[in-house]
């Protein structure tokens, strides 16, 4: 009987040690998720962690069955504490699995809402352009796009001109970006916009694409081409919502929409800046701009 009790307690502690790490990690992931991510450390998703919990739940059920079928559980109460603890673990795992599923549904709802809003903006901007064919618009990619295998560049909290020195760039891409920036800084905005457009075409999805869209938008805005500027800022933000220029792209998208007479949409974009990027230096300007254009 003592050996059976030791076996039960040892089995419980082994399972509990594994469970504790999985549960702590799952709780940690659920606590730090943002509307733009839902990725855990080491690339694990909520679905991965939920699957791990399901495997562990199966292990607990198997262990409980093994303890029960020895017959000792009905002959003595000495195994009751171990079985009760396994029952408690089963209940906690069911609760945690449900919480993760609820969190995943919430995240998917936010992503879908954001994607729909971006798609609506693209449609409206196309209507404002003389040569834009609404029927030719591509389906809007989910907010944030596919998870990239390249190292992510953190959102910038400071201002100033970005140099485009991003890991993973080729020398040709880097040189093209620097030449375009030189044209922008010398106020040759038409040339800068064209060069950034060339970079975007030649290196689609590259590490500098988000910044290139942003600076193309800035060059177009300097020429009062608000249609093109708004589209470029939208591309910069939606394509790289965690990029260095994302807060400013969202801010300047709002300003461009205001110039196009789309005040309601402008106010919505400006209101999103402090919500999505509370630590960004552009937050104060976004709030000032909202007041200046009469946002409620």
Whether residue 240 sits in one domain with residue 167: yes
Residue 171 binned pLDDT confidence (cut-offs 50, 70, 90): confident
Into how many domains does the chain fold?
Answer: 2
Which structural domain, as residue segments, surrounds residue 168? 148-292
Point out the domain boundary residue: 62, 86, 113: 113
pLDDT the model gives residue 191: 96
pLDDT for res 155: 45
For residues 286 and 183, state if they share a domain: yes
- Residue 287, pLDDT > 90, answer yes
Shared domain check, 153 and 76: no
**Contact predicate 157/171, CB 8 Å:** no
CA 80 vs CA 2, 88, 170, 216, 258: distances in Å: 13, 12, 64, 70, 69
122 is a domain residue: no
* Same domain assignment for residues 163 and 262: yes
Whether 172 and 270 map to the same domain: the answer is yes
| Domain harbouring 244, CATH code | 1.25.40.10
30 vs 207, higher pLDDT: 207
Q: What is the tens place of the pLDDT at every residue in 77-98?
A: 555 666 777 777 777 777 777 7
Which residues have a Cβ under 8 Å from the Cβ of 11 and sit 6 or more positions away?
A: 63, 67, 82
For residue 220, is pLDDT > 90?
yes
101 occurs within a structural domain: yes
Q: Based on the domain organization, do 201 and 108 belong to the same domain? A: no
- What is the model's pLDDT at position 106? 67
Shared domain for 109 and 152, answered yes or no, is: no
pTM equals: 0.53
Domain assignment present for 254: yes
Asked if residue 259 lies in contact with residue 222, where contact means CB atoms within 8 angstroms, the answer is no
Q: 39 pairs with which residues across the strands?
A: 45
11 & 98 share domain: yes
Tell which wins on pLDDT, 59 or 9: 59
Q: Would 87 be classed as within a structural domain?
A: yes
pLDDT of residue 193: 96
In a domain, 139, yes or no: no
Highest mean pLDDT among 31-45, 134-148, 176-190: 176-190
For 81-133, what is the HEC assignment? HHHHHHHHHHHHHHHHHHHHHHHHHHHHHHHHHHHHHHHHHHHHHHHHCCCCC
- For 132-141, 183-192, 248-257, which range has the lowest pLDDT when averaged over its residues? 132-141
Cα radius of gyration (the chain): 27
What is the overall mean pLDDT for the chain?
Answer: 72
Per the CB < 8 A criterion, the answer to whether 138 and 238 are in contact is: no
- Tokens (6 digits) for 63: 């262990």
């Amino acid at each position: 009987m003592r050996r059976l009790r030791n076996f039960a307690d040892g089995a419980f502690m082994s399972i509990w040690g594994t469970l504790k790490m999985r549960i702590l990690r799952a709780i940690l992931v659920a606590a730090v998720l943002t509307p733009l991510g839902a990725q855990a450390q080491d690339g694990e998703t909520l679905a991965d962690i939920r699957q791990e919990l399901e495997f562990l739940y199966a292990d607990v059920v198997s262990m409980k069955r093994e303890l029960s079928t020895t017959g000792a559980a009905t002959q003595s109460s000495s195994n009751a504490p171990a079985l009760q603890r396994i029952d408690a673990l089963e209940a906690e795992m069911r609760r945690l699995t449900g919480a993760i599923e609820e969190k995943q549904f919430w995240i998917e709802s936010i992503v879908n809402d954001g994607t729909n809003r971006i798609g609506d903006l693209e449609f409206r901007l196309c209507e404002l352009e003389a040569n834009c064919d609404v029927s030719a618009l591509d389906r809007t990619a989910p907010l944030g796009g596919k998870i990239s295998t390249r190292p992510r560049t953190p959102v910038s909290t400071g201002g100033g001109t970005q140099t485009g020195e991003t890991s993973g760039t080729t020398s040709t891409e880097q040189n093209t970006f620097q030449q375009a920036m030189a044209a922008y800084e010398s106020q040759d905005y038409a040339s800068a916009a064209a060069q950034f457009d060339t970079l975007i075409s030649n290196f689609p999805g590259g590490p500098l694409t988000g910044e290139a869209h942003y600076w193309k938008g800035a060059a177009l805005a300097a020429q009062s081409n608000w249609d093109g500027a708004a589209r470029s800022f939208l591309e910069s933000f939606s394509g790289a919502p965690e990029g260095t220029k994302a807060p400013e792209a969202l801010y300047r998208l709002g300003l461009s929409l205001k110039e196009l007479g789309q005040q309601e949409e402008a106010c919505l974009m400006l209101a999103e800046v402090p919500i999505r990027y509370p630590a960004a230096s552009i937050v104060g300007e976004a709030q000032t701009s909202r007041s200046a254009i009469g946002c409620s």
